[in-house]
């Protein structure tokens, strides 16, 4: 009887202790308020949605003790200045496509996409399992930031053109909005590359300030209304086989967080990555059907253009590798990993996809 009474008291005491201890642990954490600046407008719900996903999940995991308010491009800083703001500590976190900053150092492009590079799955494998994340962040750390993958558009379209591209001659003098290393590649073919933030693309194409633009995929292109001001829709965007976007944090601000909050940021970015990627895969088929039904002409880039672009790409890579040790180090690692990925996909993944395309046509 006494033994039973003792066990009951012990059980009640342990339960009460647990009930008291759990809230005490939560309340012991500091209240932290961060801001995340996006490079994208709210109208692009898949891309801006990554920032919202990160904000929501961190707040939920911390019981509201750690909050990150999400801000669209232009609310705090312009879309193409997010990296600068995070570096300076103006904001603690950003969500951006890091190839926007290739002008500072071309190595930034490897975080997003490079011409004739990896598709979405291959990039994810390189980043998470192939050593890409560690290698790239060794480079990014020199600028005081750390990058967490937080989305991928998948293979992008080649873009919208006001006139048909029938040969390489049609590229001469073409003012083309295109970001990253791809602009340098196409410049070798006579294109005049232009870099514009997403919100500036439509008016520039409408006014004729540019002759063509690539942006992302049908899901986004439809929202921007690009089909209203350009007739020809080309594919594939060989410069973005799987364009990744990242949550970037100021290293000092991140280091000041409790370990639990650091884990929340990383986990929230991973969730944003899955959310963004699936959003595009789910939305692209219907968006493409609607776009083409409205009158635009869907065209593949001719093999002549792809071959010339591939050759020019290798020249650009060689030029940057000779000037930047960081570029060469990541370039060699990236393409060595891709070589085996392409071989594997060719055996099984591509064969399956090709067959499915033939029977489901």
- Burial of 112-126, coded b for 16+ CB within 10 Å and e otherwise, reads bbbbbbbbbebbbbb
How far is CA 163 from each of CA 104, 171, 232, rounded to the nearest angstrom?
Answer: 32, 10, 7
Cβ atoms 288, 63 nearer than 8 A: no
Between 120-128 and 325-344, two packed helices, what is the crossing angle to 10 degrees?
Answer: 120
pLDDT of residue 11: 45
pLDDT of residue 134: 98
pLDDT of residue 39: 95
pLDDT of residue 17: 46
How far is CA 48 from each of CA 13, 14, 97, 233, rounded to the nearest angstrom?
Answer: 48, 46, 12, 24
pLDDT of residue 3: 47
Low-confidence ranges of the chain (pLDDT < 50): 1-7, 9-24
pLDDT of residue 22: 40
* Topology adopted by domain 29-153+242-282: D-Maltodextrin-Binding Protein; domain 2 (3.40.190)
295: left (phi over 0), alpha (psi -120 to 50) or beta: left
Domain ranges across the chain: 29-153+242-282
The residue written with tokens 């879309």 in the block is 79
Extract the tokens encoding 305.
Answer: 């253009």
Q: Does pTM top 0.75 for this prediction?
A: yes
Extract the tokens encoding 358.
Answer: 């033939």
- Burial of 335-360, coded b for 16+ CB within 10 Å and e otherwise, reads eebbeebeeebeeeeeeeeeeeeeee
pLDDT of residue 122: 98
pLDDT of residue 15: 44
pLDDT of residue 27: 60
pLDDT of residue 28: 81
């Amino acid at each position: 009887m006494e033994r039973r009474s003792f066990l009951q008291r012990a059980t009640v005491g342990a339960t009460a202790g647990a009930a008291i201890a759990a809230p005490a642990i939560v309340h012991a954490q500091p209240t932290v308020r961060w801001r995340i600046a996006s490079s994208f407008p709210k109208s692009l719900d898949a891309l801006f949605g990554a920032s919202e996903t990160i904000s929501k999940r961190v707040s939920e995991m911390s019981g509201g003790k750690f909050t990150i308010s999400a801000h669209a491009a232009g609310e705090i800083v312009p879309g193409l200045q997010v990296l600068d703001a995070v570096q300076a500590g103006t904001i603690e976190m950003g969500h951006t496509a890091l190839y926007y900053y290739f002008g500072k150092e071309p190595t930034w492009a490897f975080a997003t996409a490079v011409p004739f590079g990896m598709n979405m799955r291959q990039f994810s494998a390189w980043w998470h399992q192939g050593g890409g994340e560690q290698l790239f962040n060794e480079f990014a750390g020199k600028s005081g930031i750390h990058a967490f993958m937080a989305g991928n558009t998948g293979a992008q379209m080649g873009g919208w053109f006001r006139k048909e591209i029938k040969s390489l001659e049609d590229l001469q003098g073409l003012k083309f909005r295109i970001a990253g290393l791809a602009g340098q590649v196409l410049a070798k073919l006579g294109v005049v590359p232009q870099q514009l933030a997403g919100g500036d693309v439509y008016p520039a194409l409408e006014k004729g300030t540019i002759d063509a633009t690539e942006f992302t995929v049908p899901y986004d292109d439809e929202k921007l209304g690009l089909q209203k001001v350009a007739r020809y829709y080309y594919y594939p965007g060989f410069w973005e086989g799987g364009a990744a976007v990242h949550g970037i944090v100021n290293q000092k601000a991140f280091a000041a967080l409790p370990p639990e909050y650091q884990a929340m940021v990383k986990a929230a970015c991973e969730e944003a990555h899955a959310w963004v990627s699936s959003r595009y895969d789910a939305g692209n088929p219907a968006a493409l059907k609607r776009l083409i039904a409205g009158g635009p002409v869907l065209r593949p880039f001719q093999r002549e253009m792809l071959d010339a672009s591939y050759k020019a790409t290798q020249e650009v890579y060689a030029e940057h590798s000779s000037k930047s040790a960081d570029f060469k180090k990541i370039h060699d690692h990236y393409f060595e990993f891709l070589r085996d990925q392409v071989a594997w996909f060719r055996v099984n993944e591509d064969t399956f996809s090709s067959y499915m395309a033939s029977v489901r046509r």
